[in-house]
Amino acid sequence: MLTASGADVALDAIVDKVYLPGREGSLQAELLAATRTSGRLPYVIDGTLSAVWSELAAGRPVLVLQNLGVAAIPSWHYAVVVGIDRDAHEVVLRSGTDRRRVMSTDLFLRTWRRGDYWAMVVLRPDELPAAADRTRYFRQIAALEQAGAMPEAGTAWQAALEAWPGDPVALFGLANVRLAGGNAADAEALYRELLARDERQVAARNNLAMALARQGRYDEGLAEIDRALAGVPEGVLAAELEDTRAQILAMRRDPD
């Protein structure tokens, strides 16, 4: 799956990341995490044959979880769907060491149903799934950030903005990545764009203050904190704003 997305990975390295000896296999969480640490974005698609078909049409193989056993004696198994023959009612899988295993659609659906119809694709940071659910997709970008893949997360947020122009979550996410990456000027522009759309975005104003401070514009940053504090009650947000104020004051005292 990773190789198909263009990632440069070695099989042994992936085994070390996903294989759990105690379970003699892998859990979905490990597969998702290994995808992120390889600079790719995992996306769990809808559990329908049409969703699988759409991803295949977009040139992406689909990883599925099957149960090849019975309820009393389950036999969990991951396979990669690489083709669907609608006329022959067959699904083509890379399964185990078999590069091409053909299974009837009915049998595939039965074994897939026992795995709760779980399926995922591996996305490059600059591409979206065939049928993107905004919330689901954004959560995966945020997880990519948490995994430390900041450049890839930035590319993904940019792709999100192309799909959902002006989206406040995508703007905020891209601005945060730019700020974390040391590009305070770009981050400032993005925070200002977000605030121009909705000046009540306190978190954006807080981060704008820090972006200004990172450029040595301490007084401007403190002014943004004052402006934000004037519009929020005491509480968590106010405490965060005061913490940012303290950081900016410390930066102004000791610019180095």
218-247 pLDDT, tens digit each: 999 999 999 999 888 777 789 999 999 999
Q: What is the pLDDT of residue 231?
A: 80
Q: What is the pLDDT of residue 29?
A: 86
CA 34, CA 113: separation in Å to the nearest integer? Answer: 25
Whether residue 22 has pLDDT greater than 90: no
Cα 226 to chain centroid distance, Å, stands at 34
CA 128, CA 119: separation in Å to the nearest integer? Answer: 16
Mean pLDDT along residues 120-132: 96
Tell me what percent of the residues of the chain surpass a pLDDT of 90. Answer: 78
Question: What six digits make up the tokens of 223?
Answer: 């002014």
Q: Out of 26-35, 132-141, 166-175, 182-191, which region has the weakest mean confidence (pLDDT)? A: 26-35
Confidence of residue 94 (pLDDT cuts 50, 70, 90): very high
Q: Are strands 76-85 and 62-67 parallel, antiparallel or unpaired?
A: antiparallel
Cα 187 to chain centroid distance, Å, stands at 20
**CA-derived radius of gyration, the chain:** 23
Q: What is the pLDDT of residue 11?
A: 81
Question: pTM score > 0.75 for this model?
Answer: yes
- Residue 137 has a CB neighbour count (10 Å cut-off) of 21
CA 253, CA 97: separation in Å to the nearest integer? Answer: 63
Strands (E), the chain: 41-44, 62-67, 76-85, 90-95, 98-104, 119-123
Mean pLDDT along residues 24-38: 83
Structural domains of the chain, with CATH: 3-123 (3.90.70.10), 166-253 (1.25.40.10)
Q: What is the pLDDT of residue 23?
A: 59
Mean pLDDT score across all residues of the chain = 92
Does the CA dihedral 117-64-157-206 come out positive or negative?
Answer: positive
Give the CA distances from residue 141 to residues 11, 103, 205, in Å, rounded to whole numbers and listed in that order.
25, 34, 22
